[in-house]
Amino acid sequence: MRTELFVLLLLIIQFGSIGPAQSTHTPLFDGDSAYDHLAEQCNFGPRPPGSENLSLCRQYMVDELTESGWHVTLQNFTYLGVECVNVIARGDPEENGSIVLGAHYDTRPRADQDPNPGNRNIPIIGANDGASGVAILLELADVLPESVKAEVEIVLFDAEDSGGIDGWDWIVGSNHYVNQLPQFRRDEIAAMILVDLVGDTDLILKRESSSTRSLQDAVWEIAADLGLDDIFVDTVGGSILDDHRPFLTEHIPALDIIQHAPFPSTWHTLEDIPDNCSPESLDAVGRVVEVFVVGQVDSGATYIPNSIDFVIILMFVLPPLALIAVFIYYKRK
């Protein structure tokens, strides 16, 4: 009986244990190299869905991923008559990977937030809004240890940033990606990490409120351990409609790492250019995600969904069970 009670207590303790184990991994991420990837994307010019510039940029990304040893497939789809493409890279072609790292690579077709009304129909370069997240993932693709790559899938989403223009919706590419996932694949994804708007020279990352809190806690703890809690601040921002949302809808733990509340001053303006991004910002985010991925693969951690019902269970069911187990244990001694 004592053994059974001991096991019960262990299960209760383990059930409340979340997040990857502390990792001794020293990150190899290079912010300068990531910045080069950002600048290379911007050299193609504005990259709205269906454009020649975006096609050229996509080939650049495919070449970089392939050179880093990843197996790349293109997921083609059509939206409102426009041919779109998600880029999917796997460390092992025979494995799906339990971690999905995502970013969008298209750019806003119009600078509709530009302070100059005369600029608001001009497409943006998208150094921060688009290129920064992709830059981090391309650098991670190059530096992640070979031992963890089989557990990682990198997805670069098309058609995220045209919402509200010419009848387009937001997050089209990520919706398509998730809708195509079979149920077994949805079940095996332990964590989805999205990086978006992460290159600003004055980077402040508040907690995005719709993200899976337990997953967010794990990442923010790593940032604090790396001395980056001045960037990953322990403040709740807003709820953002972004490429993590389709994953959350399917009950897949997902986290949006994004500068918001407020967005950077260059957001959806003609000032969203490389000069207003920095290698230091990319380096900070890249190192945190790298350490998370290695720790996640080592620990196989699971993450508790944001659910009021589940919190009620934790608050009102588990404590009494623990007390009953302790009472029975000491009574039978």
Residues 179 and 276 in one domain: yes
User: pLDDT tens digits, residue range 70-83?
Assistant: 999 999 999 999 99
7 band by pLDDT with thresholds 50, 70 and 90: very low
291 is a domain residue: yes
The secondary structure of residue 79, as a DSSP letter, is: E
The average pLDDT across 181-193 equals: 97
Name the average pLDDT for the chain.
91
C-alpha 231: how far from chain center: 16
- Give the number of domains in the chain: 2
Mean pLDDT along residues 1-25: 49
Going by C-alpha positions, the residue among 244, 84, 83, 253 that lies closest to residue 173 is 84
**Is residue 21, in this structure, part of any structural domain at all?**
no
pLDDT of residue 154: 98
Position 138 in a domain: yes
- Looking at residue 265, its pLDDT comes to 98
Q: Are 82 and 75 within 8 A, CB to CB? A: no
Residue 124 pLDDT > 60, yes or no?
Answer: yes
pLDDT digits (tens, 9 = 90+) for 125-175: 999 999 999 999 999 999 999 999 999 999 999 999 999 999 999 999 999
Domain of residue 228, residue span: 28-303
Around Cβ 297, how many Cβ atoms within 10 Å? 24
- Chain centroid to CA 317: 33
Residues 88 and 53 in one domain: yes
Give the pLDDT of residue 305. 86
List the CATH number of the domain containing 111. 3.40.630.10
139's tokens? 């650098």
Question: Which of 328, 255, 306, 332 has its CA nearest to residue 20?
Answer: 255
Regarding whether 209 and 317 lie in a shared domain, the answer is no
pLDDT tens, 303-312? 998 864 345 4
What's the pTM value of the predicted model, to 2 decimals?
A: 0.88
Residues listed for the chain: 333
